[in-house]
Amino acid sequence: MLAVDHGYFLGPTSGLEIPAETIRPLLRYADSLMLTRGILRTSVNPDFDIPIVLRASGGTSIIGKDLSNEGITTSIEEAIRLNVAAVALSIFVGSEYENQTLLNLSELINEANDYGIPVLAVTAVGKEMTRDARYLSLCCRIATELGASLVKTYFCEDFEKVVESCPVPIVIAGGKKIPERDALQLAYNAISKGASGVDMGRNIFQSEHPVAMIQAVRAIVHRSASVDEAYEIFTQKKG
- Which are the catalytic amino acids? 152
For residue 171, give the nearest of 132, 146, 140 by alpha carbon. Answer: 140
Q: Extract long-range pairs of 137-145: CB within 8 Å, 24+ residues apart.
A: 137/161, 137/162, 137/165, 137/166, 138/93, 139/91, 139/93, 140/165, 140/166, 140/170, 141/165, 141/166, 142/91, 142/93, 142/102, 143/91, 143/105, 144/168
Cα(130)–Cα(125) distance, integer angstroms: 7
Cβ neighbours of residue 73 under 8 Å, at least 6 residues apart? Answer: 8, 55, 56, 57, 58, 59
Q: Is the separation of the CB atoms in 210 and 25 below 8 Å?
A: yes
